[in-house]
A and B are shown apart, each in its own frame.
Chain A
Amino acid sequence: MAPSRLTAQAAGVNGKTALRFLLRAFGAAILILVIWRVTTVGLAEGYPASFWISQALNGLVLGGVYALVALGYTLVYGILFMINFAHGEVMMIGGIAGFFALQFSQARGWMEGPWPVVVAALLLIMLFGMAASVLIGVALERLAYRPLRQAPRLVPLISAIGASLFLQYSVLLIFGVSPHSYRKPALISGGMRMGDVFIPYTGAIIFFTSILLMLALYFIIQRTKLGRAMRAVAEDRATASLMGVDVNAVIVITFMLGSALAGAAGVMLGFHNTVVKFNSGFVPGLKAFTAAVLGGIGNIPGAMFGALILGLIEAIGPSALGIPTEYKDVIAFSLLVLILIFRPSGLFGEVLSEKKA
């Protein structure tokens, strides 16, 4: 039946395939453009290797923070199939709370004490930020999302947008417009030098803390009874509830876990960026969402790797492409758009079946 095979291919040039072909060509063109740009401009600048390495390390740190936030998006999406648009704000509130805890411990002089005191105080600050985020996350679920579980999908999204604005501007009204600056204690403000590469302590701490938290989350989800319940609810809410899983409790706990990670991310981002203010959660939230989509939303390891990749690309991208750093957001969003167009289920995406809704 060779002739018919040929006819099939010849006829296929029009119709649906034409669009797919167009998209593929578009994708290839972009890829070639990027490679050309990187080889002729980025690498031709002649930056030393140490520059690239420190940029990459910077990206990994940022990626670690994004990963923590992205996990919150992915967890909630996996269970409720809704984009928790206000998740970035949950993170910001963790940062604000962490700021006040930091002020408090600085006023007590804990930050100048011996190192175990400083470490304990830092842990307390992070826990405080996480607690504040958990509080807000749970309130958000209870007040803005739970009444809308049965509504069409657009409705919770709008509610989430409303909640996001509400949180941002409440923080603005309560704590003022001006940014609050994090002052690092002397213990962690330095860094170490490895050859030509300078590694700030905060960066290293942030990276390893986020890895630790992610491992903890992975353990909870894969190894505990609670995690099993969460996975069951994500798979099929109705069946899970028939099997005796308290779906509401699982959803609340999901929000708590996601918010706790976001709170930790908020505090760490505060140390990394040195300031927090009412809208400092918005853009990182969007980036984290991008990361979650990049890894395939609903997929937990995917979110982690997606975030690390996004962080790396954002840090290296502008210099590699030889464009100003202001465009790093453009690079991140373009990446999101391209990924969704060419690999809609994300880089490591599990394909969500149509039944899950």
Chain B
Amino acid sequence: MLPILANGAFRNGLIVFAFLGYLILIGIPGRLGGSALPILALVAALFFWVRLRRDLSDIEGSFLRTGGATGKPGWRIGEPGHTSPQEAGTPLPGREGTLAIRKGLLAGITTGLLIAVVSFAFASAIGSGTSIQPVLDKVVPVNVAALIGVSPGQISNDEVPPLRYLLQVLFFTAAGLIAALAAVAARVHGLQTTAVARLSTYLDSQLFRKAARFAGILLPFLLLAFIAWLGIPGVTAFGSNEGTVRLLLTLIATGSGLFALRLAHPGREQKTVALLLALGVLTLPFILDQFQNSVMGLVFIFVMMGLGLNIVVGYAGLLDLGYVAFFAIGAYTYAFLSAPFSSPYISDLLTFLGISPANPLLGYWTALPVAMLTAAIGGILLGIPVLRLRGDYLAIVTLGFGEIIRLFMLNLGELTNGPRGILEISQPGLFGLAPQSFSSGLLSSQGWIFLVALVSSAVVAFVAIRLNDSRLGRAWFAMQEDEDVAEATGVHLVRTKLLAFAIGATFAGMAGQLYASRQINIFPENFSLFVSIDALALIIVGGIGSPAGIVLGALALKGLPEVLRGVDEYRIVAFAALLVIMMIVRPAGILPSARRRIQVSSTEDQISTPGEEDLDEEELDEVTGRRAQAASANREAARGQEGP
């Protein structure tokens, strides 16, 4: 038994080492500085704990259950306290406990030794003058020194006291030991279940529920008040990071507002909360500073994008990866209309139409319908060829379209000014007033953009929700469920699909126009495939088909990374890892729509190649089964002949 367990321990140790090694290679210890070693040990302890808990429950499972697959305990489906007290509270036999502790120790020592060896190797390599930095970008004296717990100078001069390595081993061994002790103790005393059970009785009590509900509803308002208070000169919190803290709080306040809306009882209460929240959020642009406003503006531009893409993907079920094309069309249309750069094509067109190519041609609001219309036309034009495609094929073709548009923007220098971009795009005004004249002091320029983004996304959300609630929304959803049946039931497929593409594109065009005026200067590189991916990711993370989820997704995916500006280089990696984990842990999104919740794990759309004449399954059976049927009928008949 021991060798098997020891094997498991080494494996755990190796896995944790691999993870820590990754963190070291991307330079996390250097970031953490002096506290690197304890923090890494803590991370390791957490890992060990998770793995040991699983192992322990496997052991226990083998005692209590008769075979069958044991699920990961952390992700057990069902009520939180569903493990019955007898089951989870069963004291582990002493032998299992000691084995678990030995396992934890072994795993810790494995990790510790490996870390020590690696850091020794790095340290001596740096000390002896071998330059590994150009190869492994983040293996610099600072990083290695933080890992070992010495100063960078000592690394460069190869003066690391050997005891330091021993300390590393000790740290990780302790991590393993603590994790094992924690896991075993929790098992032996049935801590987890009692805690969960106690918590669930609290949760069940009427009073607690009420209190939680009110707290939930109140939270966004408290946060908004705090944000406002933080903005008053002289008030500081958390030292120099006040700006970031305030941004984070703003994001949380907006997000928790959505939950508050869900908590409120439908009817008058919900309406009041919604109204107050709207007022609260509308004051934000006035109290936030330029940076916070610019982030929030971007967040809400992406809310518009998400809402538009949600119509195509979430409602109509057409996976569009080239959505950025319409965003770009909106942005460039507005840029042509309002920036000093004038392409010969456009001015030729204007003179042909008999309009003098003045500059700027149109203001923000007069250009809005033009941008929306252009994007909608783009949506229909790109929609027509892909009408017959489904599923993955549609995704790839639209992705191709998106790239083609970007490459054209890059290479059609005469039309788009190529990679040099279009500069000095004008800002939205208000009733003919230039933005500067009315916003001075009261509203920063980015605050104004944020305000416009807020109002525009509210309008977009309103339209999207209303449409989804009408017969068009039902037709979209029917089409998503079964295209052929929807058509046979009376849904005009071409019109319904094109409407989805056109409305989605219109929203993207609006977002693009606002984006252009937010950026002031736009370049083809602003419209890469990653914009499409961001938009898709945010609706999926937030909860596909659910507008509230989309706002949340935008806050999480476009807002949070800005809070983490300090660790800029790591945010994409963290974001990407989160995306994968999210898909595994909660594929329906944070705030899933009611429909999605019904069936998350169904294999919904089947493979289908849009062939010229694809037979139904039943028909194939019919056609191919005919001969077999005839043959078997004959056989039966023959048998009948023999019988009498």
Contact = CB atoms under 8 A, between A and B. Distances in A.
User: Is B truly associated with A?
Assistant: yes
B608 interface: yes
B573 interface: yes
A162 B579 contact: yes
A169 B135 contact: no
Contacts of A355: 617
Contacts of A208: none
B395 A157 contact: yes
B26 interface: yes
Contacts of A169: 572-573, 576
Contact of B134 (A152, A164, A176, A290): A176
A147 B22 CA distance: 22
Contact of A161 (B134, B137, B570, B579): B579
A259 interface: no
Contacts of B494: 19
B400 A165 contact: no
Contact of A162 (B388, B576, B606): B576
A351 interface: yes
Given A155-B583, A174-B137, A352-B609, A344 B576 contact: no
A211 interface: no
Given A173-B570, A176-B134, A159 B583 contact: yes
B572 A150 contact: no
Contacts of B569: 172-173
Given A158-B583, A173-B137, A354-B614, A289 B396 contact: yes
A158 B610 contact: no
B385 A26 contact: yes
Nearest to A26: B385
Contacts of A123: none
Contacts, number: 176
Interface stretch (A64-72, A216-224, A240-248, A326-334): A326-334
Contacts of B395: 83, 157
A13 interface: no
Given A337-B401, A357-B606, A158 B576 contact: no
Contacts of B587: 148, 151-152, 155
A308 to B, nearest CB: 20
Given A336-B396, A337-B400, A344-B611, A326 B411 contact: yes
A176 B579 contact: no
Interface string A83-102: 10000000000000000100
Contacts of B533: 161, 165
Contacts of A165: 533, 572-573, 575-576, 579
A166 B583 contact: no
A40 interface: no
Given A151-B587, A151-B601, A341-B385, A173 B396 contact: no
A103 B136 CA distance: 13
Interface residues of B, number: 66
A10 interface: no
Contacts of B620: 353
A95 to B, nearest CB: 15
Contacts of A354: 606-608, 614, 617
A324 interface: yes
Interface SS majority for chain B:
helix
A356 B393 contact: no
A344 B400 CA distance: 15
A163 B576 contact: yes
Contact of A100 (B135, B387, B540, B584): B135
Interface in A295-350: 324, 326-327, 329-330, 333-334, 336-337, 340-341, 344-345, 349
Interface in A183-212: none
Given A100-B135, A170-B573, A344 B25 contact: no
Interface string A169-183: 110111110000000
Contacts of B229: none
A345 B611 contact: yes
Contacts of A157: 319, 392, 395
B549 to A, nearest CB: 14
A88 to B, nearest CB: 12
Contact of B396 (A153, A340, A356): A340
Interface of B: 22, 25-27, 134-138, 313, 319, 384-389, 391-393, 395-397, 399-401, 403-404, 407-408, 410-411, 494, 533, 536-537, 540, 544, 569-570, 572-573, 575-580, 583-584, 587, 600-611, 614, 617, 620
Given A173-B138, A354-B606, A356-B607, 5 more contacts: A23-B385, A148-B587, A153-B605, A163-B580, A173-B570
Interface of A: 19, 22-23, 26, 81, 83, 100, 103, 143-144, 147-148, 150-159, 161-166, 169-170, 172-176, 286, 289-290, 293, 324, 326-327, 329-330, 333-334, 336-337, 340-341, 344-345, 349, 351-357
23 contacts: A103-B135, A147-B584, A150-B603, A152-B603, A152-B605, A156-B583, A157-B392, A159-B583, A161-B536, A162-B537, A166-B577, A170-B573, A173-B569, A326-B407, A326-B410, A327-B407, A336-B400, A337-B401, A341-B388, A349-B609, A351-B611, A354-B607, A354-B608
